[in-house]
Amino acid sequence: MPTLRIDSLHFAAGTPYETTLINDPNKGKRVMPSEVATAMREALSQVVDAGTAKRVAGTFKLPDGTPLAMGGKTGTGDNRIEAFGSGGRVLSSKSINRTATFVFYIGNNHFGTLTAFVPGASAQAYKFTSALPVQVLKGMAPILTPYLQPGTHTLCQATMADR
């Protein structure tokens, strides 16, 4: 089970939507068959090894130079409202926002999401794709690598409240 810094969450107190979530550290629940997880992990590794995130392949390594297993999923959104005329021609196009995301895992214990987001009409001026968050992750390698080494489950400093 992973390290846990939050053991409960309480939302919408005093409303019909009130919800309390409490962690039970002694209770784990499998959410999919292990065979499905294995197949998904392999498919995600192909995105890094030979797909849209290949620029980050081999970036994260163990001290002996062995690359950490890595996989992920990229996605780009050019989100707009378009009006179409006869024959399918575009009459108008209004940019709502632009997004590019990379959801990833590194090794067996680390995962994350990076998203580039431009809201509103100014998104029209941007053409970035999911290659942007992939490149950002690659650039963060020197910062992240010390946290990924085996036996260092976390290098995060405890807060004053934790001491």
Q: How far apart are CA 39 and CA 48, in angstroms?
A: 15
pTM of the complete model: 0.74
Mean pLDDT over residues 56-71, rounded?
Answer: 93
Q: Does 158 score more than 60 pLDDT?
A: no
Residue 114 near residue 102, CB atoms below 8 Å: yes
| Mean pLDDT for the chain overall | 88
Q: How far apart are CA 1 and CA 151, in angstroms?
A: 15
Share of the chain above pLDDT 90, in %: 69
What is the per-residue pLDDT for 63?
84
Q: Is 137 helix (H, G, I), strand (E, B) or coil?
A: helix
Q: Does 14 score more than 60 pLDDT?
A: yes
Q: Does 154 score more than 70 pLDDT?
A: no
Strand-strand pairing, 90-106 and 110-119 = antiparallel
> Given pLDDT bands bounded at 50, 70 and 90, which one contains residue 7?
confident
- Higher-pLDDT residue of 118, 62: 118
